[in-house]
Structure 1
Amino acid sequence: MTDSADPVVQADLDAYVDDQLDAARRIAVEAHLAARPEEAARVMSDLRNRDELRLALAVPQPGARPSTTEAARRLERGLRRGRVLSLFQRAAAVAVLVGAGWMLNDAAGPLVGPVVASVPPPAYVEDAVQAHGTSVLRASMHSQPVSQGYDPAEIRSATAITMPTLPADWRVRDVQVYPSRFGPSVELQAQSKSFGQLSLFAVRPGTFDVVKPTLVPGEGASAAYFQVGEVAYALVSHGDAQALDRAAAELARSLY
């Protein structure tokens, strides 16, 4: 289904957030969002706000008055009828929690800004760092065979993982498919003039999202992760962290 045959409109995006679409139309909307990262980011924010409010309503809280709970439910229904500004959604949700006397440190933790609390990296970043360490260890062992035959089309066919276009000066040294907590993952080890040895990890984490490249500095290896649609990626290296972040942004752009 293409945009020209049946274009995705705002009503489709609202229905997607509210779980009102059939499977075929959801796929069409997700394909639409995969090609539009800014729009996808707004939809993901709506989904997060919806889930935060639903979670707050689902968990019984001591001391919550029935009138306050009903007000929260009216707010949730109002948000379903129309997509208002994300800031208003968050402010309204926080106001409901405060009025009920809930513990904001637990219930409203995700609503605070990055200045107050930083968001931990996704779990697949830890897998990527571990896979990088394994690749470095394999490279030091003469008894361990390496596979320099890099075939992105075969990888996509076997794992449903689309690999980004590598920079021209990267030389692939090894490509392996590793198990992970999310299923098969791809670990590509490359040599670059800018970084020396580095790894590109790719996996399907089980969620549809668009995440811009985000740097996770480390005392040893640093990582820069991003996600495009259903596939997440993490670039890991012991080299310059800021240069690693720029390289991740270049890889992400190659997927559009």
Structure 2
Amino acid sequence: MTPVDPIQSADLEAYVDDQLDAGRRIAVEAYLSEHPEIAARVMADLAIKGELRLALAEGHQRHGRPDTREAARRLQSALARGRLFRSLQRLAATVALIAVGWGLSHQLGPLTVSEVVASVPPPAFVEEALRAHGTAMLRETMPSQKETPQYDPAEIRSATAIVMPEIPKDWKVSDVQVFPSAFGPSVEMAITRDADIRLSLFAVRPGSFAVMPVAIAREGDVQASYWQIGEVAYALVSHAEDAVNLKGEAERLARSLY
């Protein structure tokens, strides 16, 4: 759905500078969820802004040479006036990294890459998705808990600002619920595939902007394939014995959002 007031480049710049009101910010985030290439550029802008802030912070000023820090300040001012040239953005990121890296190399010696890379724990929203899946499975065993198979993605988006992926035609939606979570309203959808395989699709706005490819997490006999596009994160959850192609199915859902 295209916003009534189209998203302009000025809106994207104001989004990066955190100068939008809540309503316009939601509109920009919905737009970014439908335009991954633009979302990636906005992500780069946000990263550059964070790197410049790190390089110029009082606690990090002692880590760089004065001329390097002054160059970073000048570049930051140029970006604040409108970021007329994206090449300056790339150069600003380089200057910020040099300022931090120069100081670290003097304190810690040359940076090296460890031979052992620790696995990164899944985001907190994955735990919420596993909990919601358990609740959905419990509801199925309780005749008093009526299922709500009516699914209106436009209504969900309007009420929660969550864009749902396109559900394959051979999947049957048996229940849709809006659950509370640590991050605000979330959507939990119970799905039946191949007549007897139960899946749960969980979606929530975790409070951070990211473009995260599909990854896998497992807890006990339950497996989740999760990803994030813009401000919305998703998880496809199933029992491990039914999760033969869970990652591929999650990637299929993720592609439908582009």
How far did residue 127 of structure 1 move? 0.8
Quick one: structure 1 residues 148 and 17, their matched pair in 2 at CA, closer, same or farther if it must change by over 3 Å?
closer
Asked which structure has the greater RCO (Cα within 8 Å, sep 6+), the reply is: 2
The partner residue of 1:250 within 249, 252, 256 is 252
Q: CA deviation at 1:181?
A: 1.0
CA 1:138/1:44 → structure 2, altered by over 3 Å: closer, same or farther?
Answer: same
Partner in structure 2 of residue 83 of structure 1:
86
Distance 1:51 1:173, change over 3 A: same
Describe the superposition over 1:150-178 as per-residue Cα deviations: whole angstroms up to 9, x where unpaired. 22244344434333221122222332221
The 3 A distance-change label for structure 1 pair 247 and 26 is same
Aligned partner letter, 1:188: M
Q: Which residue of 1 aligns with 2:44?
A: 45
Structure 2's unaligned 5+ residue stretches are none
Aligned to 1:60: 59
Q: Which runs of 5+ in 1 are unaligned?
A: none
- Which residue does the alignment assign to 2:73? 73
What letter corresponds to residue 254 of structure 2 in structure 1? A
Partner deviation per Cα, 1:7-26 (whole Å, 9 max, x = no partner) = 845x7655653457788986
Partner SS for 2:192 = strand
Among candidates 98, 101, 108, match of residue 101 of structure 2: 98
Q: CA RMSD in A?
A: 4.1
- Is 1:184 the counterpart of 2:185? The answer is yes
1:143 Cα deviation after fit: 5.5
**1:8-49 Cα distance to aligned partner (Å, 9 max, x none):** 45x765565345778898677656534321221122122122
Aligned residue for 2:125, secondary structure, equals helix
Given the superposition, is the C-alpha separation of residues 116 and 92 from structure 1 closer, same or farther in structure 2, using an over 3 Å criterion?
Answer: farther
TM-score by length of 2: 0.71
The 3 A distance-change label for structure 1 pair 195 and 236 is farther
Paired residues of 2:14 and 2:20 also in contact (CA < 8 A): yes
Q: Is the 8 A contact 2:223 2:237 kept in 1?
A: yes
Letter in 2 for 1:17: V
The correspondence of residues 164-179 of structure 1 with structure 2, limited to 5 A, is 164-179=165-180
Counterparts of 2:186 and 2:7 in 1: how far apart (Å)? 34
Aligned residue number for residue 237 of structure 1: 238
Q: Distance in 1 between matches of 2:30 and 2:76?
A: 27
Per-residue displacement from partner, 1:167-217 (whole Å, max 9, x unpaired)? 1222223322211011111111112129811110112233455x3541123
Determine the C-alpha separation between the residues in 2 that align with 1:217 and 1:94.
32
Q: Per the alignment, in what secondary structure is the counterpart of residue 187 of structure 2?
A: strand
Q: Does the alignment pair 1:196 with 2:197?
A: yes
Quickly say closer, same or farther: Cα 1:228–1:187, change in 2 above 3 A: same
Relative distance call for 1:177 and 1:32 in structure 2 (3 A) is closer
Task: Give the direction of change, closer, same or farther, for the CA distance of 1:62–1:241 in structure 2 (3 Å limit).
Answer: farther
Once the two structures are superposed, the pairs formed by residues 140-155 of structure 1 within 5 Å of their partners are 141-142=141-142, 145-152=145-152, 153-155=154-156
Partner of 2:180, secondary structure, is strand
| Matches of 1:87 and 1:32, distance apart in 2 | 24
**Structure 1 residues 221 and 213, CA gap change in structure 2 (3 angstroms):** farther
The count of residues paired between Structure 1 and Structure 2 equals 245
Percent identity of paired positions between Structure 1 and Structure 2: 54
